[in-house]
């Protein structure tokens, strides 16, 4: 609905020219925005329908056509979406879906010479491949990639509120969230209390089938993802991390991983630096704001960050220091169709949602008319 509103609000601007040698001439100068053309949208499996809509909405509002490639793990909602667009009366060819894996279908799609813009959400590794492929044809591209988002608890905070918030920031969607709060920094005098509380939350989560209303956390998406996440927990342990909750696979059937909290980690540990994309939190104490800002930014990623505090002065001092595309205060992973979402640093290029997303599907044409 938000993006539909933009369809009637795409505007250029009129200009008074200032070219000295042409001052006598009567010039009409204006800009117009035009749809960029054919859009290839390549999306991941963690929020398959939602992320597809993030691409489709602004593309259609701008007047583009779309070829969507869903992740190989989750093609069904994309196909259902295509059926719904037919039912809704979209002209043939405006919205298209091709299913298949990355190398076989995604790669040829993004490097196709008739594609004008690629919009990708997924791993930083594949995002870089796609960016390189796009430059060959000067295909426009936006990338929404991985993260290792910090959750920063200041010393004035109510420990129970902060712990509940931190647990939700990492365990929501089993941690398979690009902006998951996967690094927890707590001011050192509150560290033990808050981290013990988060570990309690982790132990109390009920794991179960995704359609079981009593289940608070389901399985991970695939065997591959479960193995990757459990592998990281083992790497953490071997580098000296202390396991405060969880610590591996849950049960023998399905791809369940225990909600896991690791402490006694160091900034250079792989579990602190790399995106795990599962229910695994690393927790570290800090002294003061400058120190925690430096640690929060000591990451190749810059997608999100949350601050937990009611001290307005401290919060406002910290917000400009954080290298993150979204900063949340006393909440985490808040998204709105009107608010741009995307990454600093290796978390991506460009923004989904908001007016910024629309711009990525438009070209700007400057027109001079000598009248």
- Residue 271 CB, shortest distance to ligand NAI, in Å, is 13
- Residue 188 CB, shortest distance to ligand NAI, in Å, is 30
Residue that is written with structure tokens 């927890």 in the block:
184
Q: Which is nearer to ligand NAI, 241 or 280 (CB)?
A: 280
Q: Which is nearer to ligand NAI, 72 or 155 (CB)?
A: 72
Which among 247, 367, 316, 335 has a CA at the least distance from the CA of 54?
335
Catalytic-labelled residue, pool 178, 179, 230, 275: 178
Catalytic-labelled residue, pool 64, 144, 230, 275: 144
Give catalytic status of residue 363 as yes or no. Answer: no
Cα-to-chain-centroid distance, residue 45: 12
Q: Which is nearer to ligand NAI, 72 or 158 (CB)?
A: 72
CB under 8 Å to 277, separation ≥6 — which residues? 46, 146, 175, 176, 180, 225, 228, 229
- Residue 365 CB, shortest distance to ligand NAI, in Å, is 30
- Residue 139 CB, shortest distance to ligand NAI, in Å, is 12
- Residue 71 CB, shortest distance to ligand NAI, in Å, is 4
- Residue 107 CB, shortest distance to ligand NAI, in Å, is 4
Cβ–Cβ < 8 Å for 173, 217: no
Cβ–Cβ < 8 Å for 131, 143: yes
Q: Which is nearer to ligand NAI, 137 or 228 (CB)?
A: 228
Residues making contact with ligand NAI (CB under 6 A): 42-46, 69, 71-72, 101-103, 106-107, 110, 121-123, 126, 129-130, 145-146, 178, 228, 275, 277
Partners of 257 in beta bridges: 249
Helices (H), 217-342: 223-238, 270-273, 289-297, 312-318
What single-letter DSSP state applies at residue 106?
Answer: I
Torsion sign over Cα 137, 138, 140, 142: positive
Partners of 305 in beta bridges: 327
Give catalytic status of residue 72 as yes or no. Answer: no
C-alpha to C-alpha distance for 333 and 93, rounded to whole angstroms: 34
Cβ–Cβ < 8 Å for 217, 207: yes
Which among 308, 1, 282 has a CA at the least distance from the CA of 162?
308
Torsion sign over Cα 226, 232, 237, 243: negative
C-alpha to C-alpha distance for 255 and 226, rounded to whole angstroms: 6
Active site residues: 144, 178
């Amino acid at each position: 609905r938000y993006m539909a509103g933009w369809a009637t609000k795409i505007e250029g601007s009129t200009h008074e020219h200032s070219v000295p040698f042409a001052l006598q001439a009567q010039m009409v100068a204006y800009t117009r925005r035009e749809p960029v053309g054919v859009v290839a949208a390549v999306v991941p499996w963690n929020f398959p329908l939602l992320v597809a809509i993030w691409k489709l909405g602004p593309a259609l509002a701008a007047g583009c056509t779309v070829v969507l490639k869903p992740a190989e793990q989750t093609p069904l909602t994309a196909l259902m979406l295509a059926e719904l667009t037919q039912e809704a009366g979209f002209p043939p060819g405006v919205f298209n879906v091709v299913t298949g894996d990355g190398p076989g279908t995604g790669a040829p799609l993004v490097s196709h010479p008739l594609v004008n813009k690629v919009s990708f959400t997924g791993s930083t590794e594949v995002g870089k491949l796609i960016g390189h492929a796009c430059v060959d044809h000067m295909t426009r591209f936006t990338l929404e990639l991985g993260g290792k988002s910090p959750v920063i608890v200041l010393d004035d905070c109510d420990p129970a509120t902060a712990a509940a918030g931190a647990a939700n920031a990492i365990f929501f969607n089993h941690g398979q969230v690009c902006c998951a709060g996967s690094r927890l920094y707590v001011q050192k005098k509150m560290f033990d209390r808050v981290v013990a509380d988060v570990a309690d939350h982790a132990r109390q989560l009920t794991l179960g089938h995704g359609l079981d209303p009593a289940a608070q956390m389901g399985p991970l998406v695939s065997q591959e993802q479960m193995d990757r996440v459990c592998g990281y927990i083992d790497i953490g342990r071997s580098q000296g991390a202390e396991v405060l909750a969880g610590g591996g696979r849950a049960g023998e059937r399905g791809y369940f991983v225990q909600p896991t909290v690791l402490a006694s980690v160091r900034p250079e540990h792989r579990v602190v630096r790399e995106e795990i994309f599962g229910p695994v939190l690393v927790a570290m104490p800090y002294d003061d704001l400058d120190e925690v800002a430096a640690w929060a930014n000591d990451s190749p990623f810059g997608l999100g960050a949350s601050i937990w505090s009611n001290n307005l002065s401290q919060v406002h001092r910290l917000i400009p220091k954080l290298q993150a595309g979204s900063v949340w205060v006393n909440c985490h992973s808040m998204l709105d169709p009107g608010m741009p979402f995307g990454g600093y640093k290796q978390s991506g290029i460009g923004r989904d949602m908001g007016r910024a997303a629309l711009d990525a599907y438009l070209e700007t044409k400057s027109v001079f008319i000598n009248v």
